Structure 1
């Protein structure tokens, strides 16, 4: 009897400590007009790219990670403690910022939020932006919705020709102590 009680206790603790996530290692497709809401993390290890509907990230925390960059049509972000990307994310159409930033690590330029040729965004602000790397693919002009902490610091790119690829991030720097200068006290 004691053995069974130990087994039940073990599985109860494991399930209580485990974090939930949607794991994609097959084929998922969002059809035109369809919606898919993530209230958990997304682990993407398979192509997730034939989408025409809306993907929303909601809740207190959400992370996208895995081995294959997902490609979404419309994206909505309403994550109180930011949508964290440890894997890039591509979008074809609209990105709607509602609550929280899209965060990418500034120490890894290979992870970025990518706006493809027809993509645009709305709802950006001091508490709703990309805090990290943003990129464009096949776009002429674009205003990147980037910033740091609680400040939107958009970067405008005006080009004479279509950019095959461009990427940027905003790095806060204290003007009193520019990078490369010694502080004097």
Structure 2
């Protein structure tokens, strides 16, 4: 690493003042510094950038056995970069790489309510090393003219999204949310999954993506077994990419230009769309899930007053070969019962008690909140929806 004498002085003054104020060792730049070609810098402490730190070459790495934070008023941009933190690298300001980046350990966390704070890939900068434990948990952006796959996810789940050539000449930004679109945590509006155009018969309640871009592109979304695709279709050919139209304020069919995989994992590509026309994207179905007269009572209040004490699906006796699954918002199974119509009005019906996998303590009361049911009826497509536990 090469510094001119004045730049060393800027660095030392900033470092000492920041350390004194916060009683911790941190790198604070409010001057004008540069990593030159062949230079190498390793950050083992938080980085605060209030100066010019965006004309770098060489290599920069982030290393910690715990967490690190990048903050300040200006975006630092590094040439080659790697992230090797045991837990999380938090971004309070955008961070850029202009040549190459590697995920070695840890996730990059960005604030999901600030789309402009993102991990930025400039000039088609590639990356490697992403997986369920190493990705951007929040927003990432791309500037360039090549195909790009966003290394985005939510918690310990990588859920990539791909855009096509030249879609990011003016920058495209994306994030993945493992949330019910009806009750999003980081948006000022909700997206009613029962409000869709006539060509659709269902919309996913388990997840969605946010893609911002002003250039038309086809969009590829991915799914895994937590996506519960069988609740939408028996065949992946029935799947569609759908988007909440900004002006129409309902879900619109965005097509199925290509699809591959199976019901447990795969990917689907939309027709060419203008991303900025849609607030969020997710999966939909072109076929009905289940025919017949079923009424689902989505409020469960197990307080012993004999009103909504258990989860009830009226009309289920017409479909005796059935099985009910209930998941929490993280996709963890908390209840499962075959022939649910025989027990739904009894003590064996779901009344907010966990009887699922060992990750949830069995026979314990579940907290209040939103849960998801999946109804499997033999010979038909699955049906899914949300329910609420109120105590």
With the length of structure 2 as denominator, give the TM-score of the two structures.
0.41
Matched, 1:111 2:314: no
Counterpart position of 1:7: none
Partner Cα distance (1:160, 1:86) in 2: 28
**What aligned pairs does 1:50-129 form with structure 2 within 5 A after superposition?**
50-59=55-64, 60-129=66-135
Q: Report if aligned partners of 1:38, 1:56 keep a CA contact under 8 Å in 2.
A: yes
Q: Is the 8 A contact 1:116 1:139 kept in 2?
A: no
Residue in structure 1 matched with residue 333 of structure 2 by the alignment: none
Whole-angstrom distance in 1 between the partners of 2:167 and 2:86: 38
* C-alpha deviation, 1:110, in angstroms: 1.6
- Residue in 1 aligned with 2:387? 184
Question: Conserved in 2, the CA contact under 8 Å of 1:63 and 1:83?
Answer: yes
The answer as to 2:153 corresponding to 1:153 is no
In the alignment, the residues of structure 2 paired with residue 53 and residue 68 of structure 1 have an alpha-carbon distance, to the nearest angstrom, of 20
Higher RCO (CA < 8 A, seq sep 6+):
1
Q: Distance in 1 between matches of 2:114 and 2:26?
A: 23
RMSD: 2.4
Specify the alignment match of 1:8 in structure 2: none
Inter-partner Cα distance in structure 2 for 1:97 and 1:67: 25
Do 1:116 and 1:136's aligned partners in 2 also have CA atoms closer than 8 Å?
Answer: yes
Are the counterparts in 2 of residues 148 and 170 from structure 1 also a CA contact under 8 Å? yes
> Normalised by the size of structure 1, how large is the TM-score?
0.84
* Residue in 2 that maps onto 1:48: 53
Shift of 1:163: 2.8
1:14-70 Cα offsets, whole Å, 9 max, x none, are 97x722210001122111111100000000000101211111000011100000101
How far apart are residue 175 of structure 1 and its match?
8.5
Unaligned runs of 5+ in 2: 1-18, 185-190, 194-297, 299-385
Q: Would the aligned equivalents of 1:65 and 1:86 in 2 still touch at CA under 8 Å?
A: yes
- The structure with the largest alpha-carbon Rg is 2
1:130-149 residue pairs with structure 2 within 5 A? 130-149=136-155
**Alignment length (residue pairs):** 171
**Structure 1: distance between partners of 2:89 and 2:81:** 12
Q: Decide which moves more: 36-45 or 161-170.
A: 161-170
Q: Deviations over 1:120-178 (max 9, x none)?
A: 10011111000110001123310010001001101111146553210000011259988
How far apart, in 2, do the equivalents of 1:136 and 1:147 lie? 16
- Runs of 4+ aligned residues of structure 1 deviating over 6 Å after TM superposition are 175-178
Partners of 2:35 and 2:79 lie apart in 1 by: 9
In 2, Cα distance between the equivalents of 1:160 and 1:57?
Answer: 31
**Residue-by-residue CA offset, 1:59-95 (whole Å, 9 max, x unaligned):** 0111000001011101110111211000001110111
The alignment partner of 1:152 has SS state of: coil
Mark the runs of 5 or more structure 1 residues left unpaired by the alignment.
1-13
